[in-house]
């Protein structure tokens, strides 16, 4: 039986392990942490449960597809429900907006709140859908770095309609030309943060992200986001995958430009296929020290990172939902601070995620579990202790004022995540959440491919390689790797 080794058990690593095991490979996963999931993990603190990392679940078909491949009914192992309200948005002038999952309600609420005609917004969303439909097979579902991807009718069709993609505009320019309301523009600019980018730099192509969320919706997995990890890990075990936790791979062993296996401590594990689910940067720098590394790809601008406060709150707030955004008054300066000044602005946007709204057991009776996130630059040696203290003071002041209650005394327990901690826990280079940013209009082509151009039998999956970061794209990276690897 042919052997496959996967380095890392993030969501892409788990999905790849399932696919290769079903393909007939004897699959072995090495994970440096004592748990699977990478960023998609959880912890408990004084009776409160917190999802540690990704908090948005959309496009669940990429999870359930893995159960279909294994011939199983996903409902036996994994369940979720769709949210009626995707997110609540708040501005400092007391404007608030609920983004309904139902399109008609969404359009009506936009017109009522921002004065934008429903027809104008619908036209924008249809254009976003067209971008997705024209490019999905090229950018998301297949390797961008294989000639056969371009020798298709879909590619020709996309090229013939190139102006639709608005590649020459930034996302902010595309939104500003579509709408007159500065608040709606800001709301749609926010979608750049879904892959850790700057709406004032990233391409107008990124309007398609709004189509994805609007069309497929926002979902809540029963048991929280970590239940995605749990379901896929258990599916991998049933498929015959072997896991070694708290086990770091020290080197990928090569011979005559062919990958032969890995070295773990003083032991060699041979393999016909090696897949790295680790960040591509340390994969080259630490695991392939004698190999030439792809300089241009590894030197791309890093995506944003985050400071996250996990708070057990001894109170319930009826005006808040699962997902909540408290917008900055100066969005442009917020991103200028992150990507140009490598710091955090004085008035950053605050994201508050509260899973106990939908999963009551995540917090004690009458309480809530708050995941409070501020977008930050990647770790460049900033004084994070100073930044964290400033952010904590700012968040408490802004949210206390907005919610009409002194928040600080309601916090009964607290944990913290910073860019250096993200790097140490997940091996993400500089703590960047999505690998490289998408601020360059050619970023999709500059991302590292899902295979090595120089080493046979070496493949890559996860958020730091094509097609990008976030749960859906990580799962698609596993699917692309699966298509590249022959049957065992």
Write out pLDDT tens, residues 112-144.
Answer: 999 999 999 999 999 988 888 877 776 666 555
Please tell me whether residues 184 and 256 are part of one structural domain.
Answer: no
Indicate the residue among 209, 243, 271 that finishes a domain: 209
- pLDDT-based confidence at residue 437 (cuts at 50, 70, 90): confident
What is the CATH number for 476? 3.50.50.60
Decide if 31 is inside a domain. yes
Work out how many domains the chain is built from and give that number.
2
Q: Report the pLDDT value the prediction gives residue 150, as an integer from 0 to 100.
A: 41
Q: Which domain holds residue 202?
A: 103-209
Please tell me whether residues 204 and 232 are part of one structural domain.
Answer: no
Decide if 73 is inside a domain. no
Decide if 33 is inside a domain. yes
Residue 290 pLDDT > 80: yes
Residue 48 pLDDT > 80: yes
Q: Which two tokens stand for residue 391?
A: 């952010």
Residue 155 pLDDT > 80: no
Question: Residue 45 burial (CB < 10 Å; 0-12/13-18/19+)?
Answer: middle
403-412 as b/e: b if 16+ CB within 10 A: beeebeebbb
Please tell me whether residues 232 and 287 are part of one structural domain.
Answer: yes
Q: Report the pLDDT value the prediction gives residue 158, as an integer from 0 to 100.
A: 53
Distance between CA atoms of residues 252 and 288, nearest Å: 6
Please tell me whether residues 272 and 180 are part of one structural domain.
Answer: no
Decide if 355 is inside a domain. no
Instruction: Return the minimum-mean-pLDDT range out of 46-60, 72-86, 244-258, 432-446.
Output: 432-446
Distance between CA atoms of residues 50 and 415, nearest Å: 10
Residue 465 pLDDT > 90: yes
Q: Residue 102 forms beta bridges with which residues?
A: none
Place of tokens 């106990």: 356
DSSP one-letter string for 163-183: GGG-TTSBHHHHHHHH-S-HH
Residue 320 pLDDT > 80: yes
Give 224-267 pLDDT, tens digit per residue. 999 999 999 999 999 999 999 999 999 999 999 999 999 999 99
Indicate the residue among 144, 179, 209 that finishes a domain: 209
- Give me the mean pLDDT over the 322-341 stretch: 98
Q: Which residues contact 153 (CB under 8 A, 6 or more apart)?
A: none
Residue 157 pLDDT > 60: no
Decide if 146 is inside a domain. yes
Q: Report the pLDDT value the prediction gives residue 429, as an integer from 0 to 100.
A: 95
Q: Report the pLDDT value the prediction gives residue 482, as an integer from 0 to 100.
A: 96
What are the C-alpha distances in Å from 481 to residues 338, 397, 452?
A: 33, 47, 11
Please tell me whether residues 275 and 246 are part of one structural domain.
Answer: yes
- Give me the mean pLDDT over the 460-474 stretch: 93
- Give me the mean pLDDT over the 375-392 stretch: 98
Per the CB < 8 A criterion, the answer to whether 304 and 379 are in contact is no
Q: What is the pTM of this model?
A: 0.94
CA nearest neighbour of 377 among 416, 420, 347: 420
Decide if 241 is inside a domain. yes
Residue 388: in which H helix or E strand, if any? Answer: helix 384-403
- Give me the mean pLDDT over the 402-422 stretch: 98
Decide if 115 is inside a domain. yes
- pLDDT-based confidence at residue 146 (cuts at 50, 70, 90): low
Please tell me whether residues 232 and 191 are part of one structural domain.
Answer: no
Indicate the residue among 176, 209, 242 that finishes a domain: 209
What are the C-alpha distances in Å from 53 to residues 11, 225, 308, 331?
A: 12, 9, 9, 24
Decide if 294 is inside a domain. yes
What are the C-alpha distances in Å from 435 to residues 24, 253, 378, 428?
A: 31, 24, 10, 7
């Amino acid at each position: 039986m042919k052997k496959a080794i996967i380095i890392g058990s993030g969501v892409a690593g788990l999905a790849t392990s399932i696919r290769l095991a079903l393909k007939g490979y004897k699959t072995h996963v090495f994970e440096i942490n004592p748990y699977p999931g990478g960023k998609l993990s959880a912890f408990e603190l004084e009776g409160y449960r917190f999802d540690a990392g990704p908090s948005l679940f959309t496009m669940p078909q990429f999870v359930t597809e893995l159960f279909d491949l294994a011939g199983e009914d996903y409902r036996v192992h994994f369940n979720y429900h769709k949210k009626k309200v995707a997110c609540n948005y708040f501005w400092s002038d007391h404007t608030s907006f609920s983004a309904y999952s139902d399109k008609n309600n969404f359009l009506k609420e936009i017109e009522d709140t921002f004065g934008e005609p429903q027809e104008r917004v619908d036209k924008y969303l249809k254009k976003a859908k067209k971008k997705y439909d024209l490019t999905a097979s090229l950018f998301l579902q297949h390797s961008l770095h294989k000639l056969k991807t371009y020798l298709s009718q879909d590619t020709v069709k996309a090229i013939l309609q190139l102006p639709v993609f608005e590649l020459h505009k930034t996302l902010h320019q595309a939104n500003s030309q579509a709408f007159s309301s500065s608040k709606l523009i800001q709301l749609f600019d926010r979608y750049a943060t879904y892959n850790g980018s700057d709406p004032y730099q990233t391409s107008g192509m990124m309007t398609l992200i709004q189509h994805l969320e609007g069309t497929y919706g926002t979902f809540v997995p029963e048991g929280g986001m970590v239940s995605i990890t749990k379901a896929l890990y258990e599916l991998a075990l049933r498929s015959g995958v072997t896991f070694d936790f708290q086990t770091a791979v020290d080197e990928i062993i090569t011979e005559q430009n062919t990958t032969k296996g890995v070295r773990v401590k003083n032991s060699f594990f041979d393999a016909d296929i090696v897949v790295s689910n680790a960040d591509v940067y340390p994969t080259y720098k630490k695991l392939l020290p004698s190999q030439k590394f792809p300089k241009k790809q590894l030197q791309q601008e890093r995506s944003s990172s985050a400071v996250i406060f996990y708070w057990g709150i001894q109170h319930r707030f009826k005006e808040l939902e699962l997902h909540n955004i408290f917008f900055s008054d100066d969005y442009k300066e917020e991103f200028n601070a992150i990507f140009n000044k490598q710091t955090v602005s004085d008035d950053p946007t605050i994201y508050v995620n509260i899973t106990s709204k939908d999963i009551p057991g995540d917090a004690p009776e009458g309480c809530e579990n708050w995941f409070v996130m501020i977008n930050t630059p990647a770790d460049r040696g900033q004084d994070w202790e100073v930044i964290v203290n400033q952010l904590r003071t700012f968040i408490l002041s802004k949210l206390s004022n907005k919610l009409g209650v002194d928040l600080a005394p309601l916090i009964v327990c607290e944990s913290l995540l910073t860019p250096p901690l993200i790097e140490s826990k997940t091996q993400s280079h500089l703590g960047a959440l999505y690998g490289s940013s998408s601020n360059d209009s050619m970023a999709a082509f500059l991302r590292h491919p899902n295979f090595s151009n120089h080493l046979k039998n070496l493949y890559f999956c996860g958020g730091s390689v094509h097609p990008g970061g976030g749960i859906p794209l990580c799962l698609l990276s596993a699917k692309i790797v699966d298509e590249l690897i022959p049957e065992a």
